[in-house]
Chain A
Amino acid sequence: MKITDASVYPYPAGDSTLARMALEAAELGFDSIVAVGEIRSQPSGIKILRGAVINAASHKEVIKRVRDPAVRRADVVFVNAGDISFNRAVVSVNEVNVVRNIHAARRNAFDHVAARTAADRGVAVDISLAPIIQFRGTKRQKALQRYADILSLQRRYGFPLTISSDARSIMEQRSVREVRSLCALFGMTGVEVSDALASVGRLTEPELPVKVVA
């Protein structure tokens, strides 16, 4: 079972190079990370997956963007969440793996219809730790509330969750133990956190039925 940080933004988007972030992630207990942006080399130590983020205003734009060569090369395709109709539509796009930025969406923007479709199609919802770590006051309360709502939908419909640090620096990366305690703030249990940390592995290498070849 791989323990994956579902998105980090290495240099030049952040202040730490991919190799340094990989080194830190390994020390923090992760065995793979999803790096968003250009990956020129594959540092040794832990597995690096390529991630692409689509920020689109409409469902049609998402369908157009998933055909971009950069997105097609990616191991994990993220789409930023939008309004209720956008989210319902985007979870049924084949190439989309994860819906992210859910803390910034309106309440109920990811509803039971989107949850059921996500569960059927194996599309994950990302829990970003950045708002919990970096925000203060009402902004953080709102993010925790959104995550609690998502968690209750996940318990009911069973769609995958991923957990990301959204780190742009090694200072924003957190250890697996810290991830557990931060996720406990909105009611996630240790087992659910372990499951969510292993979700990226299941998205990129889905379990297929056994084929009898002879």
Chain B
Amino acid sequence: MRAKRRYILARILPYGVAVDQRQAYFSVIEAATSLLGDAAVGLAQPAVVFCEGGYIVVRCRRGTEKDIATALATITTIADERAALRTVATSGTIHALRRRMRPIRPLSEAGEAQVGETYFTVYRYPRQKVDLVEKGIKHQKSLFFTEADLEER
């Protein structure tokens, strides 16, 4: 008999980070296995079914969704980049979760700012949030400001 499933919707932090579904799956499995153990994760059968637009949907067996959501809260990196998952909702269908997804896109074109000696690309988001990403190719430092903080500098 086919087991009942639950789907967990989580938002990916920081905003604008492109996460590969496969890498996200590895992070979910690592976090769940280290927190709950192989046996519990084997029974929960977690899988990443969707990873796009700043959101991730994790599938698991019904009854294990609380444990998996707890494990998602312990994720600190995805593909060696700092990241976090914030659980938004749990549902029995992906369709219901899609209604909860609100795309998070930068408000305007990226600007530039200097903090200390370092140059950052500025991304503005709703609610006066400003993310500064160090200019570079890999493992860039990020700073999280607000519009007011940026104006004060």
State the A residues within 8 Å of B (CB).
Answer: 11, 15-17, 19-20, 23, 28, 43, 132-134, 136-137, 140, 169-172, 174-175, 177-178, 181-182, 184-185
At the interface, is chain A mostly helix, strand, loop or mixed? helix
In the complex, chain A residues whose CB is within 8 Å of the CB of B128: 23
Q: How far is the CA of A16 from the CA of B70 in the complex (A)?
A: 24
Contacting B73 at CB < 8 Å: which of A11, A17, A174? A174
Do B74 and A171 touch across chains, with their CB atoms under 8 A apart? no
The 8 A-B pairs at the shortest CB distance, nearest first, are namely A16-B144, A171-B84, A181-B70, A178-B73, A19-B146, A17-B149, A20-B144, A136-B34
**B139 in contact (CB, < 8 A):** no
Do B13 and A182 touch across chains, with their CB atoms under 8 A apart? no
In the complex, chain A residues whose CB is within 8 Å of the CB of B73: 133, 174, 178, 181-182
Per-residue CB contact flags for chain B residues 62-105 toward chain A (1 = under 8 Å, else 0) read: 00001001100110100000111011000000000000000000
Given A11-B143, A15-B143, A178-B73, 11 more contacts at CB 8 Å?
A15-B142, A16-B145, A17-B144, A19-B148, A20-B129, A43-B146, A133-B76, A169-B82, A170-B14, A171-B83, A171-B84
B121-153, CB < 8 A from A: 127-130, 141-146, 148-149
In the complex, chain A residues whose CB is within 8 Å of the CB of B66: 181
B1-42, CB < 8 A from A: 13-14, 34-35
